[in-house]
Amino acid sequence: MTAQTDPRLAAQRIVADLTAPGAAFELVRESVLGAPTTLFAHRRRALHQLLAESVEHGDRTYIATLEERISFAEHAAMVSSLAHALREQHGVRPGDRVALAAANTPEWIVAFWAATSIGAVAVGFNAWWSARELSYGLEHARPVVVVADDKRRALLEEVGVDVPVLGLDEVRRLAVAHPGAALPSAEVAEDDPAVILYTSGTSGRPKGAVHSHRNLLSVVEFHRMSDALLAAFGDPTDPRERTYLLVMPLFHIGSLHNLAVPRLATGSKVALHLGSFRVDPIMRLVERERVTNWGAVPTMATRLLDADLSTYDTSSLTAFALASAPSSPQLKEKLRTRLPFASSLVDSYGLTESCTGVAVATPMDLAEAPGTLGRPIIGVELEVRDPDGRPLPAGVEGEICVRSAYNMLGYWEDELATTAAIRADRWLHTGDLGTLDDQGRISLSSRRSDLIIRGGENVYPAEVEGVLADHPEVAECIVLGVDHTDLGQEVGAVVVPATGAQLDTLEERLREHAASGLAYFKVPTHWRFASTPLPRNATGKVIRREIEP
């Protein structure tokens, strides 16, 4: 008779061994910023250490596009040269901000490492921002240098910028201008800022989530441990032989913190797609670079279902995951049935403020509890709490709160928003509602109240409403999510026109007005003009649930 082993119990035993005292991924409990926190004992302390260690991977490919390949040794030399130029020619010092305003390119990654390795703070501007939003980013982050591609450079010139703007050609030139430059380093503390990434603000302005060296290096150790866990389960693959497809924007934690950064540490290849999501070039990259791992947003997955993939060799793909936006059990079942590489599909839950996934659902979790987002990852404490902050039992809905070494420091120069999000003992209050089941798995009820997630991009109605309300022909308005089969949601606007508004052409004028001040994905595509005031409660707040988009 063959003995049956419960995979979950086996995993728990392996994790216990990997994280035990003296083990490679030993966990310790220490005070971080005044709060007890679970840490990897053997983590690195500064990002420049990863760059220095990456030289050991030599001629192995770090970044591959359909146009070029850059080895780990070449990348380290490019970063060293650019870091030298940033310091000596542009006076960048520890704590200074270096803004990155560009679509995905190798130069983005090189500039990120150059900035963070000299102790500067890399600020990822959303590449889809309008000129107005870029102007806000410049004012808010106050960078001393901006790296921008041609499209973003034109927008920056439109709004005016009083600091040096380095185009991608200039970045390439500076990355080879000092071939003998030493590997960069800087005196930084673990909890010094390393990165600022923007998340749309509930009050109408984007907020800059500040991530420290400790945050990113803790994420790196989590990924190293995940590789070790696979090896302990019998996967013979050397982590250096894995190739990770990078399609999502680098100004997101999914691509930067959880792909570009840890792969420099593990010696794995990053297959970097350039440009917007198009199935053919992406699948050609998968085929040519023998991609093994792909983390996709549900919109990408839906488009794969609509495409003919029979002519592409996808046999190298062994891991396919969903992230960044909610997805239905029906979509997951379609993916498992119709895409061979999605048979062992996993899902996850995370947010910009958490730096990495808060919870991960394994194939077994999804089979047992369709719709779940799984259990907290190593190092994450998770509670579902009532409005008074008290933990709730399984099955009772409340706010999801998390604490870990991955949690952001706070919001850049926004004490009020930071205090609202990070409270006593550094528990992050996500604003998301959910429930825990009796197995410790989390399920989401709703995300951040009114948040619209369009193709993996967050759209906060308050920001869009603020722009629309500035138009003289708008008396009042509300912005709502509209279900969409491909994007998940689209942006819809219900507008009460002002007296005298020209209704026959109002939609066109409002769309143009919104496009002049917002990234394209925030501009409403569904419009409804109401002849009566919006319904409000006794305190004057609009009752959103009573309004149809």
Instruction: Kindly report, residue by residue over 270-323, the tens digit of the pLDDT.
Output: 999 999 999 999 999 999 999 999 999 887 888 898 899 999 999 999 999 988
What digits encode the pLDDT tens for the residues 527-542? 999 988 888 654 455 7
Whichever domain contains 495, its CATH number is 3.30.300.30
Using DSSP bridges, classify how beta strands 145-148 and 121-124 pair: parallel, antiparallel or unpaired: unpaired
Distance CA 342, CA 384 (A): 30
Q: Hey, CA dihedral for 504, 506, 507, 511, is it positive or negative?
A: positive
Q: What is the pLDDT of residue 448?
A: 58
Residue range 126-152: mean pLDDT, rounded = 96
What digits encode the pLDDT tens for the residues 38-79? 999 999 999 999 999 999 999 999 999 999 999 999 999 999
82 and 30 in a single domain? The answer is no
- Residue ending a domain, choose from 179, 204, 233: 233
Confidence of residue 3 (pLDDT cuts 50, 70, 90): very low
Q: What is the pLDDT of residue 10?
A: 85
Confidence of residue 440 (pLDDT cuts 50, 70, 90): very high
Residue 402 has pLDDT above 60, yes or no: yes
95 and 225 in a single domain? The answer is yes
Residue 371 has pLDDT above 90, yes or no: no
Using DSSP bridges, classify how beta strands 526-529 and 207-212 pair: parallel, antiparallel or unpaired: unpaired
DSSP string of 266-305, one letter each residue = HT-EEEE--SS--HHHHHHHHHHHT--EEEE-HHHHHHHH
Query: 């240098």: which residue's tokens?
Result: 145
Q: What is the pLDDT of residue 540?
A: 52
| Angle value at C-alpha 270, between 266 and 271, nearest 5 degrees | 155
Q: What is the pLDDT of residue 446?
A: 61
Confidence of residue 203 (pLDDT cuts 50, 70, 90): low
Structural domain for 132, as ranges = 46-59+70-233
Q: Hey, CA dihedral for 294, 223, 362, 316, is it positive or negative?
A: positive
126 and 18 in a single domain? The answer is no
Q: What is the pLDDT of residue 466?
A: 79
123 and 207 in a single domain? The answer is yes
* Global model pTM greater than 0.85: yes
DSSP state letter for 430: E
Q: What is the CA radius of gyration of the chain?
A: 23
106 and 132 in a single domain? The answer is yes
- Residue ending a domain, choose from 181, 200, 233: 233
- Whether residue 360 is contained in a domain is answered as no
Q: Using an 8 Å Cβ cutoff, are 195 and 211 in contact? A: yes
φ/ψ of 97, rounded to 5, equals: -100, 135
Reference 357, options 338, 380, 336, 334; nearest CA is: 380
85 and 219 in a single domain? The answer is yes
Residue range 403-409: mean pLDDT, rounded = 98
33 and 148 in a single domain? The answer is no
- Residue 53 burial (CB < 10 Å; 0-12/13-18/19+)? middle
Distance CA 187, CA 352 (A): 26
28 and 121 in a single domain? The answer is no
146 and 80 in a single domain? The answer is yes
Query: 């989401």: which residue's tokens?
Result: 444
Distance CA 488, CA 433 (A): 19
Distance CA 397, CA 403 (A): 19
Q: Using an 8 Å Cβ cutoff, are 386 and 376 in contact? A: no
Q: Which tokens go with 199?
A: 């998340």
What digits encode the pLDDT tens for the residues 218-270? 999 999 999 999 999 999 999 999 999 999 999 999 999 999 999 999 999 99
Confidence of residue 485 (pLDDT cuts 50, 70, 90): confident
Q: What is the pLDDT of residue 467?
A: 87
Instruction: Give the largest Cα separation in the chain, rounded.
Output: 83
Q: What is the pLDDT of residue 449?
A: 57
Confidence of residue 328 (pLDDT cuts 50, 70, 90): confident
User: Which 3 state secondary structure label does DSSP give 403?
Assistant: strand
146 and 20 in a single domain? The answer is no
Confidence of residue 5 (pLDDT cuts 50, 70, 90): low
Q: Which tokens go with 523?
A: 């501009």
53 and 184 in a single domain? The answer is yes
Whichever domain contains 154, its CATH number is 3.40.50.12780
Residue 142 has pLDDT above 80, yes or no: yes
Q: What is the pLDDT of residue 510?
A: 95
Q: Which tokens go with 18?
A: 């990997």
Q: Using an 8 Å Cβ cutoff, are 34 and 208 in contact? A: no
Confidence of residue 397 (pLDDT cuts 50, 70, 90): confident
